[in-house]
């Protein structure tokens, strides 16, 4: 018996068989019985048998559309026939005599053809049987087609990454300008009013001084968050997104972040409504990751809510194991046909092409929530804007 190769093979045996095997322990004995029976047949009747390991050449199994192994295939003479299942030997016993008749008929036909075309061929060598060579060529074409498909997929992915990189560089440069300018103004104001000799700020009240320091601090946090979000989305996948959960009181975290964004909220005169029950259980989550989720969702709510609009933050104890948090706004909302796609990496609505942002915030939020075995989705808010919900596991003592 021969192992199947992709090299051209010319056989004088008109009967050609392929035996497909695998390396499963439970099929090993069956394969040995089949091979032993074929050895007995081969001692009495000349035929060619080649063994194919589907683990090494899976594209051949695809070529013959096999659904199970072991399998014995008669590839020549035509028509092709497949024997599979747990009773291959009994099937072979039933078909063996008919295969021999088919081979004898094929040999007679070949002899007639050789006689008819002997003069034209000028005594050339008989036509060789190339069925196994054809199978090898077909299998190689399948393998190459799979490889080309894989390479094309990688090429498209790389092209997409390059386009994303160019887009992000331009948008990041634009988006960083605003917080950098705000931080610079605050620091320059503090510097210009600081008297080194006296060690105090002149013409600035203590309250205004504190406010300017807070402004500079908040803006640097925004810059840091933008860069962190970008790096995490660029490097991470769902499978390697690590979290370090602990018990946290999410109501307090919401309050802290709303205070951090107070200047932006006041600038647009937005009304904030909170509906987080005091008896809401603690959640088991990574505080830094969940902070990223909340800050992204609040940032979007502030960005898209018009001046004088409203934002609502709420919490709900859904089950004994899940807590739901929601952030809604009175902005334009998300069209229904886009509510799934907005969580894709760097996907943006057409209407948002001119706005700040580079479309990675919601993708990052989804990865973080999924890493906590939670869910995140969007609906229409009670104020007809966007209404984002996410769930987190309850901390169980």
pLDDT digits (tens, 9 = 90+) for 204-230: 888 888 888 888 888 887 778 767 766
Domain 2-129: CATH superfamily is Glutaredoxin (3.40.30.10)
CATH of 148-235, one of 1.10.10.10, 3.20.20.10, 1.10.287.130, 3.40.50.720: 1.10.287.130
Q: pLDDT tier at 305 (50, 70, 90 boundaries)?
A: very high
pLDDT, residue 6, reads 44
Domain locations in the chain as residue ranges: 2-129, 148-235, 242-393
- For residue 93, what pLDDT band results from cuts at 50, 70 and 90? very high
The 8-class DSSP code of residue 126 comes to: P
Would you state the pLDDT for residue 281? 92
Cβ neighbors of 101 (< 8 A, separation 6 or more) are none
- Residue 81 token pair: 């026939």
Q: Residue 11 has what pLDDT?
A: 47
* Cα–Cα distance measured from residue 62 to residue 85, given in angstroms and rounded to the nearest whole number: 17
**Pure H helices in 53-203:** 58-63, 88-116, 118-121, 131-192
Mean pLDDT of the 23-41 span: 89
Residue 311 has pLDDT above 90, yes or no: yes
At 325 the three-state DSSP class reads strand
Average pLDDT over residues 47-66: 83
pLDDT at position 140 is 63
3-state secondary structure of 348: coil
N- to C-terminal Cα distance for the chain? Answer: 65
Range from 63-67, 146-150, 372-376 carrying the lowest mean pLDDT: 146-150
Residue pair 64/72 in contact by the 8 Å Cβ criterion: no
Query: What is residue 351's predicted lDDT score, i.e. its pLDDT?
Result: 47
Lay out the sheet containing 271-275: strands in order across: 271-275, 310-317, 322-329, 386-393, 376-380
Answer whether residue 134 shows pLDDT above 70: no
Q: Residues 262-278: what's their mean pLDDT?
A: 90
Question: Could you tell me which residue, 82 or 111, shows the higher pLDDT?
Answer: 82
Q: Residue 361 half-sphere exposure, CB side, CA atoms within 13 Å?
A: 22
Give the C-alpha separation, 311 to 264, whole Å.
13
DSSP labels for 48-95?
A: EEEEEETTT-HHHHHHTT--SSSEEEEEESSSPEEEESTTHHHHHHHH
Q: For strand 271-275 and strand 310-317, is the pairing parallel, antiparallel, or unpaired?
A: parallel
Task: Tell me the pTM.
Answer: 0.48
Confidence of residue 364 (pLDDT cuts 50, 70, 90): confident
CATH architecture of the domain formed by 242-393? 2-Layer Sandwich (3.30)
Mean of pLDDT over the chain: 80
């Amino acid at each position: 018996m021969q192992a199947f190769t992709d090299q051209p093979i010319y056989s004088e045996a008109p009967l050609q068989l392929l035996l497909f095997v695998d390396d499963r322990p439970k099929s090993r004995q069956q394969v040995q019985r089949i091979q032993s029976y074929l050895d007995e047949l081969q001692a009495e009747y000349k035929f060619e048998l080649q063994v194919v390991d589907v683990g090494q050449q899976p594209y051949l199994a695809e070529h013959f559309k096999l659904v199970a192994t072991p399998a014995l295939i008669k590839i020549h003479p035509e028509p092709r026939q497949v024997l599979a299942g747990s009773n291959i030997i009994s099937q072979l016993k039933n078909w063996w005599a008919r295969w021999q008749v088919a081979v004898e008929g094929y040999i007679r036909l070949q002899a007639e053809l050789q006689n008819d075309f002997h003069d034209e061929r000028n005594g050339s060598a008989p036509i060789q049987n190339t069925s196994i060579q054809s199978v090898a060529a077909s299998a190689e074409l399948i393998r190459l087609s799979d490889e080309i498909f894989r390479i094309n997929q990688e090429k498209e992915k790389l092209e997409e990454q390059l386009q994303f990189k160019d887009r992000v560089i331009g948008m990041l440069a634009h988006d960083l300008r605003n917080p950098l300018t705000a931080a610079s103004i605050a620091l320059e104001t503090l510097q210009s009013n600081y008297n080194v000799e006296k060690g105090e700020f002149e013409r600035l009240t203590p309250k205004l001084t504190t406010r300017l320091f807070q402004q500079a601090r908040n803006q640097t946090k925004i810059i840091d968050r933008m860069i962190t979000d970008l790096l995490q989305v660029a490097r991470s996948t769902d499978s390697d997104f690590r979290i370090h959960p602990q018990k946290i009181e999410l109501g307090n975290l919401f309050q802290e972040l709303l205070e951090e964004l107070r200047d932006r909220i006041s600038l647009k005169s937005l009304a904030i409504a909170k509906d987080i029950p005091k008896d809401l259980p603690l959640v088991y989550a990574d505080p830094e990751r969940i902070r990223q989720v909340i800050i992204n969702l609040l940032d979007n709510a502030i960005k898209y809510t018009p001046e004088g609009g409203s934002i609502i933050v709420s919490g709900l104890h859904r089950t004994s194991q899940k807590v739901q948090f929601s952030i809604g706004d009175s902005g334009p909302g998300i069209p229904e046909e886009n509510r799934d796609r907005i969580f894709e990496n760097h996907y943006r609505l057409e209407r948002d092409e001119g706005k700040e942002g580079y479309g990675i915030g919601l993708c990052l939020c989804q990865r973080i929530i999924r890493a906590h075995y939670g869910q995140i989705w969007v609906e229409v808010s009670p104020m007809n804007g966007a209404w984002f919900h996410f769930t987190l596991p309850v901390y169980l003592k």
